[in-house]
Amino acid sequence: MFKLVPNFSLRHNNSFGIDVTANYWVTISTLRDLDEAFTKYPHLSGETKMIIGGGSNLLFLSDFDGVVLSPDFIGYEITYQDDQVIEIEVGAGVEWDDFVAYCVEHGWYGVENLSLIPGKVGAAPVQNIGAYGVEIEQVIVCVKGLNLETGEIGSYTQEQCCFSYRSSIFKEKMLNRFMVISVVFRLQKMGELVSAYGDLSGMLKELDEPSLKNARDAVIKIRRSKLPDPKILGNAGSFFRNPILSAREAASLAEFLPGLPLYPTSGKEVKVAAGFLIDHAGWKGRKVGRAAVHDRQALVLVNLGGATGAEILELSMAIQQDVFEKFGVVLEREVQVVE
Ligand code: EPU
């Protein structure tokens, strides 16, 4: 059965906690639900559509004049396994961290470093979630879903997803046009932990033979120490992407800013820590009205309570301008702004 609510408050469906409404909110657990909803309420077809998973990467500037589809497809199905690997199809509506916990419990390697990332499984490939040296693209076999324009069910192979740093075809060309139904992951039964990342490597080095559970616990501990819980303080994780510079630009910036963390990418470019730049420009902990820069991680903007999307956007633009004036670096938003 689908659930349709008109004039729906989105406050609890965007992790910034911005108080806006949508014309309609429709929760669907099966494709039949979607058919039924559009048959029973034909005027929905004329509404602008938006898909919300956990709403953990969105910044609303105003009420949404359209229908929000909330996919609630749940369940796990093993589609292949041998001695080394297991492939598992997971419903888009499953909480991402529940899936990670499930994998760790079963001894499957691949997603443990992505512990505690908020949101649903269906949203994870959209922005190619990543943390502590792992990006979800590394474990995806394919993404299945519905093309809302043609009504066709289709599957994108890993390659067709066009993954890049915190992006994919679903966040670009197919944004709000393709509704993820399930994701097929390939995990390792006899894998190795990815423990090179600074904070994590420090914690795991203290253990003799760190297990999957140790890695998950360490990631959870690091995240809790730096990142605000959206249930308590509205936020959308990193507000900006870490900028990618040419090796030469990065080297001259590091000369000007000793200690600047540099992460080489697969190409010749270098990713630099935006949080370090924002922090060193003096923004960490700064409040502007009801919006603020988090006091433990400058890459995260927070809603102190009752902030509008415009207030948060304004703060983000002041930071972008200041970082550009001080360091000549353009910061790009990671969060998706909904106008
Ligand atoms: N730093 C500062 N001051 C700050 C924040 C960071 O000096 O206020 C320095 C840190 O000391 C560290 C470096 O910057 O040396 C990097 O910081 P951190 O390890 O916290 O990671 P990040 O680069 O800021 C990225 C992801 C996070 C992910 C972490 C861990 C992006 C945009 N963000 O943050 O992802 O959890 O690495 O892998 O790539 C997200 O996407 O929402 C997110 C939280």
pLDDT tens digits for range 139-172: 999 999 999 999 999 999 999 999 999 999 999 9
* Of the residues 23, 41, 71, the one at which a domain ends: 71
194 within domain boundaries: no
Ligand 1 neighbour 298 (Cβ under 6 A): yes
At residue 38, the pLDDT reads 93
Considering the domain architecture, whether residues 153 and 183 belong to the same structural domain is answered as yes
Considering the domain architecture, whether residues 30 and 93 belong to the same structural domain is answered as no
CATH of the domain at 11: 3.30.43.10
Q: Beta strand 270-272 with 262-264: parallel, antiparallel or unpaired?
A: antiparallel
CATH of the domain at 312: 3.90.78.10
Q: How far apart are CA 294 and CA 296, in angstroms?
A: 6
Rg (CA), the chain: 20
Considering the domain architecture, whether residues 97 and 56 belong to the same structural domain is answered as no
Told to judge if 112 belongs to the known catalytic residues of this protein, a careful annotator would answer no
95 within domain boundaries: yes
Which protein residue has the closest C-alpha to ligand 1 atom 7? Answer: 276
Q: How far apart are CA 218 and CA 236, in angstroms?
A: 21
Q: Length of the chain, please? A: 339
Q: Beta strand 58-60 with 336-338: parallel, antiparallel or unpaired?
A: parallel
* Mean per-residue pLDDT over the chain, rounded: 96
* Of the residues 188, 210, 225, the one at which a domain ends: 188
Residue numbers of the domain that contains 106: 76-188
Is the Cβ–Cβ distance between 120 and 199 less than 8 Å?
no
Considering the domain architecture, whether residues 117 and 141 belong to the same structural domain is answered as yes
Considering the domain architecture, whether residues 108 and 169 belong to the same structural domain is answered as yes
CATH of the domain at 106: 3.30.465.10
At residue 150, the pLDDT reads 93
At residue 266, the pLDDT reads 79
* Of the residues 170, 188, 206, the one at which a domain ends: 188
Number of structural domains in the chain: 3
Q: Pick the catalytic residue from 15, 112, 137, 166.
A: 166
CB-based burial, 96-119: b 16+ in 10 Å, e otherwise:
bbebbbebbeeebbbbbbbbbbbb
Nearest-CA neighbor of 87 among 183, 168, 206, 223?
183
Ligand 1 neighbour 319 (Cβ under 6 A): no
At residue 276, the pLDDT reads 98
Considering the domain architecture, whether residues 67 and 80 belong to the same structural domain is answered as no
The model carries a pTM of 0.96
Q: Pick the catalytic residue from 89, 137, 311, 334.
A: 334
Is the Cβ–Cβ distance between 111 and 187 less than 8 Å?
yes
State which ligand 1 atom lies nearest to the alpha carbon of 165: 39
CB-based burial, 136-160: b 16+ in 10 Å, e otherwise:
bbbbbbbbbbbebeeeeeeebebee
Considering the domain architecture, whether residues 156 and 251 belong to the same structural domain is answered as no
135 within domain boundaries: yes
Told to judge if 223 belongs to the known catalytic residues of this protein, a careful annotator would answer no
Considering the domain architecture, whether residues 244 and 280 belong to the same structural domain is answered as yes
219 within domain boundaries: no
State which ligand 1 atom lies nearest to the alpha carbon of 298: 8
At residue 13, the pLDDT reads 96
Nearest-CA neighbor of 318 among 305, 335, 301?
301
Q: Pick the catalytic residue from 29, 168, 195, 238.
A: 238
184 within domain boundaries: yes
State which ligand 1 atom lies nearest to the alpha carbon of 127: 41
Which protein residue has the closest C-alpha to ligand 1 atom 37? Answer: 131
- Residues in the chain predicted with pLDDT less than 70, given as ranges, are none
Told to judge if 164 belongs to the known catalytic residues of this protein, a careful annotator would answer no
224 within domain boundaries: no
Q: How much distance in Å is there from the Cα of 278 to the middle of ligand 1?
A: 11
210 within domain boundaries: no
Considering the domain architecture, whether residues 48 and 112 belong to the same structural domain is answered as no
At residue 67, the pLDDT reads 97
Amino acid letter, 328? G
Considering the domain architecture, whether residues 30 and 82 belong to the same structural domain is answered as no
Q: How much distance in Å is there from the Cα of 116 to the middle of ligand 1?
A: 15
Q: How much distance in Å is there from the Cα of 218 to the middle of ligand 1?
A: 16
Q: How far apart are CA 25 and CA 32, in angstroms?
A: 17
279 within domain boundaries: yes
Q: How much distance in Å is there from the Cα of 314 to the middle of ligand 1?
A: 22
Considering the domain architecture, whether residues 90 and 56 belong to the same structural domain is answered as no
Question: Please, which contacts does 170-178 make with residues 24 or more away whose CB atoms are closer than 8 Å?
Answer: 170/125, 170/126, 170/143, 171/126, 171/127, 171/336, 176/49, 176/50, 176/51, 176/148, 177/147, 177/148, 177/149, 178/145, 178/146, 178/147, 178/148, 178/154
Q: How much distance in Å is there from the Cα of 101 to the middle of ligand 1?
A: 23
Considering the domain architecture, whether residues 101 and 25 belong to the same structural domain is answered as no
Which protein residue has the closest C-alpha to ligand 1 atom 20? Answer: 297
Q: SS3 of 80, please?
A: strand
